[in-house]
Chains A and B, each alone.
Chain A
Amino acid sequence: MTKNQLFSAPGGLAADYLRRKGHPSLVEGVAFVLLRLSMLFVIAAIFFIFYDIFSKGVGVISWEFITAMPRRGMTEGGIWSAVLGTVYLTLITAVASVPIGVFAAIYLNEYAKKNTFTRIIRLSIRNLAGVPSIVYGLFGVALFVRALELGTSLLSAGLTLGLLTLPVTVTASEEALKSVPDSFREGALALGATKWQAIRTNVIPSALPGIITGMILGISRAAGETAPILFTGAAFYLSSLPSSLSSRFMALPYHLFIMSTQHHSIEKVRPIAYGTALVLIGLVVTMNMSAILLRTHYRKKMRG
């Protein structure tokens, strides 16, 4: 073949462009439009959910709604007992799961050797995250409520939720520890610090934002859970606030469940249900957003 045959084909590249300009790029255009529509559809669905709950719930919410006790078979009044119940429950969950989660992560990442045993532990932790929450509920009933005789109480429910958040706190803490460069550890060790001193003074402080983010995410998940507390301590209706760890309690998610399915006059209490849903979403989304903000804030800071 000579040069001329190759390069002076009739019309050259320009004609070729025109010939090819038909279908592949058309297909591409259509495909990308479809992908974009999928994305927009997902976003629209999310906005619709938030909009519906917000627009119908916001009218109900007032200072009184949040701080007043439910009255008249929960057809009037507020949701204070449920709010407080959820706050207490969340605190117990945090106390139960955070220390264990963090220490387990420190052990796994800093001390444990990389062998089959630790691989199995990691695998089980990851799988634990996939265990259905109702199964945690069953476990809570069997272990805390009955075997340990804690009864249906704040403590039983808190411990059950603590177990549920454990995989999240362990994984998040481990990720945070892993992202601390080895030079931080070596730097301290080279100065004659013990391993624990190095971890305490150099590693934990720089992993702290990551650990806290993980904790908030885990706890906010617990705050929204209903299934595990159904049988471990949540109550349909209580006239008084929980007084001790062994009291039963009301909680926002369970309250919403009751108000929308179990109440004797469902239509009548719908506004209260909307208000409860909004407060719950507000609580959980605020926790999540603050975790995310914290994460991005520290990421920027780390980069200098």
Chain B
Amino acid sequence: MVLVGIFALLLNSSFAAWQDVGFISFLTGRVWNPSGFVSSHFGIFTKIVGTLMVTAGAMIVAVPLGIATAAYLAEVATPWEREVVKPVIEMLAAVPSVVLGFFGIVVLSPLLARIFNLPNGLNALNGAILLGLMSLPTIISIAEDALTAVPKEYKEASLALGATRWQTLSRVIIPAAGSGVTAAIMLGIGRSLGETMTVIMATGNALQFPSNFFSSVRTMTATIAIELGEVPADTTHYYTLFAIGFVLFSMTFLVSLLADIFLHRAGEMKKL
């Protein structure tokens, strides 16, 4: 019900924006200059790229680390290690995003600036690392659930054939948990796409088109958060912010729907 409400409201406001701007030029326009003196431009392509870049970067960080950690916890760790490590990871999940953003400003930014010799470290890479950290708990816990849910018969059969534990893990258990692991990644992506505070604080929010990971980028979420406070209501600018919200909503909705389908498939497999 609420979902439908949000959807309807966003769509409604978005239409107002698209009437003025045009749907295609809204999505593909590179220039965002809402208060231009002669004419305003409302192209969010730069922001979509910014969001996708940061999210992709986050996944490059989080997917290998997350799945490796989940695999370690599920198959290699002693019960003692598991007891200690899991609450620590849950603690990371509890850290508010604004605190991580703060960490990005005070610790990660100077660090990146020093390592890569940049004027400052508030860029896409910084945001990607933080978002990666942030989506780790989601990826780890769901991937670990998926790995532990693999029937133990598979594991026994593989070991009884003389496979090592690593061969068993990499060739039988991880493929068998494929759907669940994919769902974990999807949910991680969803978290990164929609995160606001961390990226506002860590990525520098520049308006120009990003050229690489050391560029400062402004994501869709950051645009809304920065500008909504400043625009007069019921203007085209105001509506375009809602339209950005709609695009964002559609993206995360699609991602969670995919995650859901994969989880469902993982559930089916367990019954066999």
Contacts and interface: CB of A to CB of B under 8 A. Distances in A.
Interface string B230-256: 000100000001100100110011011
A interface bracket (residues with beta carbon within 8 Å of B): 35 or more
Contact of B76 (A27, A32, A41, A49): A32
Interface string B96-114: 1111111101110000000
Given A49-B103, A131-B252, A42 B69 contact: yes
B68 interface: yes
A70 to B, nearest CB: 17
A107 to B, nearest CB: 12
Interface in A21-57: 24-25, 27-28, 31-32, 34-36, 38-39, 41-43, 45-47, 49-50, 52-53
Interface stretch (A4-12, A174-182, A221-229): A221-229
B3 interface: yes
Contacts of A185: none
Q: Max chain A CB contacts within 10 Å: which of B92, B187, B241, B257?
A: B92
B103 A142 contact: no
Contact of A45 (B73, B133, B249): B133
Contacts of A131: 3, 6, 194, 249, 252-253
A231 B228 contact: yes
Interface string B253-268: 1011101100000000
B197 interface: yes
Contacts of B10: 135, 138-139
Interface of B is mostly: helix
A53 to B, nearest CB: 7
Interface residues of B, number: 76
A277 B107 CA distance: 14
B101 A257 contact: yes
Given A34-B68, A131-B194, A132-B194, A277 B99 contact: yes
18 contacts: A34-B68, A49-B133, A52-B103, A123-B257, A124-B1, A124-B3, A126-B260, A127-B256, A132-B248, A135-B10, A137-B224, A224-B97, A224-B99, A231-B228, A254-B98, A256-B98, A274-B106, A285-B91
Given A131-B252, A281-B96, 18 more contacts: A39-B69, A42-B89, A42-B136, A123-B260, A124-B1, A130-B252, A132-B196, A134-B221, A135-B249, A137-B228, A138-B10, A138-B241, A139-B5, A257-B200, A274-B106, A281-B99, A284-B96, A289-B87
6 closest Cβ contacts across the A-B interface?
A: A132-B194, A224-B96, A38-B68, A130-B256, A28-B166, A227-B196
Interface of A: 24-25, 27-28, 31-32, 34-36, 38-39, 41-43, 45-47, 49-50, 52-53, 123-139, 141-143, 146, 163, 166, 220, 223-227, 230-231, 253-254, 256-257, 260-261, 270, 273-274, 277, 280-281, 284-285, 287-289, 292
